[in-house]
Structure 1
Amino acid sequence: MRDRISVFLEEKQGLSANSKQSYKYDLEQFLDMIGEQISETNLKIYQSQLSSLKISAQKRKVSACNQFLYFLYQKGELKTFYRIELLKQAEQQQAKPELLDLESFWQESDFPEGRLLALLILEMGLLPSEILTLKVADINLDFQVLRIKKASQQRIVAIPMRLLPELAPLMDQTYIFEKSGKAYSRQWAFRQLEAFLKERGFPELSAQGLREQFILRQMEEKVDLYEIAKKLGLKTVMTLEKYR
């Protein structure tokens, strides 16, 4: 199915190089979401995934996908002519996330574990589950990188210079957060993080909110969406489109 994208683009007349690249990006993302099996169910799942994007982005993607679906139908590769419809938009659009001033997180705290958890999420975009299972053996302070392992996959994440002094005292342990050599639970991490965020005056924030702040900071620094997705361990940039 993926090889049909290039054939589809070759048959479209008058498209600029940038337009073709945009079509290619949207269609590859479409196939990443639905796989090789086009069905009403898969298209509805894709449709729902678009709801978090700006209206202009939704319209662009739906238009590209519908043209591609019609092309496949014309070529006899689909027995049914499928069409994606835009979902009805809510009366009020969700407010754009606000970039917060969280410099106070670097100050000393009565909840040091919660503080370090918050900094690792804010500065590196890590998930609490990734942090709790992170072994000291997977951290290299000399090269300023750490390795995140998930099943058979792994990714290398750069450690910001400011975090090095925070991690250095923990290098003789097994895990960054541990008790008697065993990693703490997610419930423990939640309580520590919650206590720290309340102390700093951000009780409405959560691990998810801090991860969003990481994304907003990356966007502020003009980091490419693909690079941000790579740092976060995401397979596609779909969930990051709303930050454009």
Structure 2
Amino acid sequence: MKEHITSFIKEKDLSENSQTAYSYDLDQFVDTVHGHISDTNLRIYQASIKDFKPAVQKRKLSAVNQFLFYLYQNHVIGEYHRLVLPKVTVAKSHDQELLDLSLFWEGSEIRQGRLIALLIVEMGLLPSEILQLKIVDIEPDFQVLRVGKEGQKRVLRIPDSLLDELTDSLTGTYLFDNNGKAYSRQWGFRQLESFLIEKGFKDLSAQSLREQYILKQREQGMDLFSIARELGLKTLVTLEKYK
């Protein structure tokens, strides 16, 4: 599938920067769908970019739709597919209420997606931070874990509710171990989305789960400075709507 990206871009009269942007977006698309165009894989791709800014989503989907049409015209795929650009609405995060996510604690066939969801909801971690978590950074005896880049790690307390969940997964190099390497961002989104669909929360995302963490901490009386420190934020700008 990737060999068609070059020929597709050559047909377009684009600047060097635009060619680079198209190539990057389409490489990412092909990697996410594993080179196979199907309705399911297209939904997974669209879910993988839904946390990007609307303008970025629009750019990526526009490039993908043009590429899909090119593949159809050249008989590379037998069916024409088109992704619909999402409607952009103004988020009212400050008006949202805590959701009942007790289903997350029930059993699941998608164990890795479940643990990713719990780490976001209970500790406010970013998917990128979760996927980079190494076993050596998790200390069950002291009930803490270290997260973040080298030299900028923050130490977080592991909630009692998560302690057993993490202890059962401490094998390998990473918490989510891919033969000694970290899994990709796309893999993480795929696992999380599958779990959320299984539990009937298909409209939720990593971003909205992190918001649930913030809302829960505010309800329990934690001030914004403390929440910002827990989340690794340098300013309170993104948290002002939770005052």
* Matched residue SS, 1:205: coil
**Which blocks of at least 5 consecutive residues in structure 1 are unaligned?**
1-89
| Cα separation, 1, equivalents of 2:193 and 2:90 | 33
1:28 is aligned to none
1:225 counterpart letter in structure 2: L
**Residue deviations 1:65-101 (CA, integer Å, cap 9, x gap):** xxxxxxxxxxxxxxxxxxxxxxxxx999776122100
1:190 counterpart letter in structure 2: F
| Cα separation, 2, equivalents of 1:168 and 1:206 | 25
| Cα separation, 2, equivalents of 1:103 and 1:119 | 10
Q: Displacement of 1:238 after TM fit?
A: 1.5
Q: Identify if the C-alpha distance between structure 1 residues 102 and 180 changes in structure 2 by more than 3 Å, giving closer, same or farther.
A: same
| Cα separation, 2, equivalents of 1:122 and 1:194 | 14
Q: Displacement of 1:135 after TM fit?
A: 0.4
1:204 is aligned to 203
**Which blocks of at least 5 consecutive residues in structure 2 are unaligned?**
1-88
2:112 is aligned to 113
| Cα separation, 2, equivalents of 1:114 and 1:91 | 28
Q: Identify if the C-alpha distance between structure 1 residues 222 and 175 changes in structure 2 by more than 3 Å, giving closer, same or farther.
A: same
2:190 is aligned to 191
1:125 is aligned to 124
2:110 counterpart letter in structure 1: F
Q: Identify if the C-alpha distance between structure 1 residues 224 and 182 changes in structure 2 by more than 3 Å, giving closer, same or farther.
A: same
Query: Which 4+ residue blocks in structure 1 deviate beyond 6 angstroms?
Result: 90-95
Q: Identify if the C-alpha distance between structure 1 residues 110 and 236 changes in structure 2 by more than 3 Å, giving closer, same or farther.
A: same
1:142 paired with 2:121, answer: no
Q: Displacement of 1:148 after TM fit?
A: 1.1
Q: Identify if the C-alpha distance between structure 1 residues 218 and 94 changes in structure 2 by more than 3 Å, giving closer, same or farther.
A: closer
2:153 counterpart letter in structure 1: Q
Q: Identify if the C-alpha distance between structure 1 residues 201 and 146 changes in structure 2 by more than 3 Å, giving closer, same or farther.
A: same
Q: Identify if the C-alpha distance between structure 1 residues 229 and 95 changes in structure 2 by more than 3 Å, giving closer, same or farther.
A: closer
Q: Identify if the C-alpha distance between structure 1 residues 92 and 212 changes in structure 2 by more than 3 Å, giving closer, same or farther.
A: closer
Work out the percentage of aligned pairs sharing the same amino acid: 59
Contact 2:94–2:241 (CA under 8 A) maintained in structure 1? no
Q: Displacement of 1:172 after TM fit?
A: 2.8
> Structure 2 length normalisation: TM-score?
0.61
| Cα separation, 1, equivalents of 2:100 and 2:212 | 10
Q: Displacement of 1:181 after TM fit?
A: 1.6
1:168 paired with 2:167, answer: yes
1:222 counterpart letter in structure 2: G
> Structure 1 length normalisation: TM-score?
0.60
| Cα separation, 1, equivalents of 2:122 and 2:186 | 22
Q: Cα RMSD between the aligned structures?
A: 2.0
| Cα separation, 1, equivalents of 2:90 and 2:216 | 29
Structure 1 or 2, whichever has the larger Rg, is 1
2:158 is aligned to 159
